[in-house]
Structure 1
Amino acid sequence: MAATHYVARDRVHFTWDVRHEPAVEIESGDVVIVRTRDVSDDQITPASTTATLSTLDWKRVYPLAGPIGVRGARPGDTLAIEILDIHTEGWGWSAILPGLGLLADDFKEPYLRVFDLSDGDAAHFREDIAIPIEPFFGTMGVCPAGAVERPVMPPGTFGGNMDTRQLARGATLYLPVQVEGALFSCGDAHAAQGDGEVCVTGIEAPMYAALRLTLPHGPKIPAPQFLTPGPLVPRVNAGGWYGTTGVGGDVYRAAQDALRAMIAHLSTAYGLSGEDAYVLASLCVDLKISEIVDAGQYIVSALLPLAVFRNGARGAA
């Protein structure tokens, strides 16, 4: 019979490292209950203001829960992580951080928003704007082969800081094991995020989760893969979308142009400041590659879910 294990909130580490001792060791098929800190490692609180951002100790950013050792896991195996349950602890935050984000050159000043998530349903961005709470871990990974004090960012074939918002309750993530015991860790939890996490934060939040880790029999995989239980955006898909586009020979620049057009739309149609429009886009706008086969002219779309607006959607001004 599968056992249940617990990783305490204080069992954290800040790098990928093969020398980290497991917080717990489990058998394949066991369940692990984890409580994770927010990405700031509790430096940002519900009482914080924008001024708090200038005092952050960046060595404490990205605390990861774990690692979790899986007995019998060997390099070349596949580790399956089922997200059985995940929910917030009632609050979260989003920020513009100078030097980071898709439009770092456009937004050079810090900006912080703190959200009450206690109703468990939505983050109320404004009285007429509600973003559905759909929690997931922005970072889930096994230890990379040979890692010694490797930073949490960027991600890799081992997983890591993937920020894949579809890895919510009911999803299963598959990771290629790279070291003995797998040494799985997770953290950087988000209560909501758009595809792209364009301003570099989702709704960052401390989190509770129940995960089942197994070593399924099957083919080797070269990089993370995942399975979702249903629609990719179940809570907003039926409400329609408003899209802006970026066009050009560089996908990254096209994404920037699509986002700039979306920020302009949010400011004009809904009266948001540039900062609030940028943050809102990070929380609910999805960046999509609409076309990548016409050599030299690629199209990236920024898609705004209209269901987040309580007083009705608005088209181009």
Structure 2
Amino acid sequence: MAKPHFHLHNHPDHSHLRWSRAIPPVLTVPSGSEITLELPDGGGNQITRENAAAGTAVASFDVGLADPGVGPIYVEGAAPGDVLRVDFLALEPTVDYGWTAVFPGFGLLCEDADFVAGVAAPRIFDLGRPGREDWVADRGYVVFRPADGASGGEEIRIPYRPFLGLVGIAPAEGEHSMIPPLDTGGNIDTRALGVGSSLYLPVKVPGALLSLGDGHAAQGDGEVCGTAIETRMRATVRVTVEKGKSWVKSPWVLTAEDAAAATAAPAGREFMCLGVDSDLREATRKAVRGVVDWLEAEKALSRADAYMLVSIAGNLRMCEVVDMPNYAIGCAVPLGLFVASPVQG
């Protein structure tokens, strides 16, 4: 039987600018459904080719309209204590450009003299169109062109790695900004969430109330200047309610298959816990504790063995370091570590 498929278009009535369980859902779907969404970019479509060329894009930018989420989507059967799994099936830009900007007071180096006032002109990246020679999905890279035209005689090619920066569900209480990440997800800006990956989120309210947005054509870990290659995106996801995963207390990422290493499933894949906190060290502790909890619950390791395994085989990643006041630090475990024991003769 075919899975139910739903469509949600980018419309003012279908998006919101705060996290709250009080926001009514715009769509209700059963667990296991696939949903295609038309998403605005992370700037709320405020930056265009035209205002970037005119040099007015940054000065006129309203941060209050940033990081809109399309939703909420009520998933039937989701209850507090459950986990919502979001599988990323397809991601495609819906415009022929993306942009990167440096805004005043935002980004890791916002207090440096070079950046305290921001940078007046965003960089515009050509993404092309499907069916044309310049289509980024076929080309596989985005060309970075410095503002002064200087590149040392080389073309700078950024690998095309589309993902959604904003994927989250409603918190248990309160009203929260869209910009900082939360334990329930949100603006986690984690580039491992490409096609073929999965995100696990701890459900806090009935129906989970899922929202998505902030399409990226590419981003480095940390998104250090505060923006990636931002673009409007069409995304198709599958949502599934899962039970019995009490160790999921914050976002978890199952990375996509690595085609170069796919000699034996699940080679090349990683499972990553995101620790979210306003203190960098505590965010890191939360990520490591999350992996220790998982290894204890799912792999039957003692906490001591789990802790030592993370130390010798786990990988820490600074996934998000600019959406203050919270950091998102990832702790990833390669799933290729776990190999079936040989049959004893």
Q: 1:24 to 1:115 in 2, by over 3 A?
A: same
1: CA distance between counterparts of 2:49 and 2:260? 28
Matches within 5 A, 1:150-161: 150-161=176-187
RMSD: 2.1
Instruction: Give yes or no for contact 1:67–1:184 (8 Å, CA) kept in 2.
Output: yes
Partner residue of 1:135? Answer: 162
- Equivalence for 2:144: 125
Per the alignment, residue 40 of structure 1 pairs with 43
Q: 1:169 aligns with which of 180, 185, 195?
A: 195
Higher mean Cα deviation, 72-81 or 1-10? 1-10
Map of 1:264 onto structure 2: none
| 2:228 aligned residue | 202
| Pairing 1:87–2:92 present | yes
Alignment correspondent of 1:239: none
Alpha carbons of structure 1 residues 42 and 183: separation in structure 2 relative to 1, 3 Å: same
Counterpart in the other structure of 2:252: 225
* Identity level (%): 39
Q: 1:109 aligns with which of 106, 114, 117?
A: 117
TM-score by length of 1: 0.71
Number of the residue aligned with 1:98: 104
- Counterpart CA distance in 2 for 1:30 and 1:151 is 28
SS of the residue aligned with 1:229? Answer: coil
- Matching residue of 1:192: 218
Question: 1:35-62: per-residue Cα shift (whole Å, max 9, x none)?
Answer: 1001121211122224211111222111
SS at match of 1:100: coil
Q: Which residue of 2 aligns with 1:259?
A: none
Contact 1:141–1:159 (Cα < 8 Å) also in 2: yes
Pair 1:12 & 2:39 matched? no
Q: Report deviation, 1:136.
A: 0.6
| Superposition deviation, residue 226 in structure 1 | 1.3
1:45-87 CA distance string (max 9 Å, x none): 1222242111112221111111110011111100000000011
In the TM superposition, what is the alpha-carbon distance from 1:219 to its structure 2 partner? 1.7
Aligned CA distance change for structure 1 residues 156 and 233 (closer, same or farther; 3 Å): farther
What TM-score do the two structures reach when normalised by structure 2? Answer: 0.66
Structure 1 distance, partners of 2:259, 2:180, is 24
Give the secondary structure class of the aligned counterpart of 1:85: strand
Q: Against the structure 1 CA distance between its residues 140 and 24, is the aligned structure 2 distance closer, same or farther, given a 3 Å change threshold?
A: same
Distance 1:233 1:94 in 2: 30
Is the CA contact 1:166–1:232 (under 8 Å) kept in the aligned structure 2?
no
Matched residue, 1:77: 82
From the two aligned structures, give the one with the greater strand fraction: 1
How far did residue 94 of structure 1 move?
0.2
Partner of 2:63: 58
Measure, in 1, the Cα distance between the counterparts of 2:259 and 2:86.
18
Would you say how many aligned residue pairs link Structure 1 and Structure 2? Answer: 239
Counterpart CA distance in 2 for 1:94 and 1:87 is 18
Who is 1:3 aligned against? 4
Within the candidate set 17, 21, 24, 2:24 is matched to 21
- What secondary structure is seen at the aligned counterpart in 1 of 2:205? coil
Question: For the Cα contact (< 8 Å) 2:48–2:57, is it kept in 1?
Answer: no
Q: Tell me, which stretches of 5 or more residues in structure 2 are unaligned?
A: 129-134, 146-153, 262-278, 282-315, 319-345
Ranges in structure 1 where 5+ consecutive residues have no aligned partner: 235-249, 253-286, 290-317
Query: 1:99 corresponds to which letter in structure 2?
Result: G
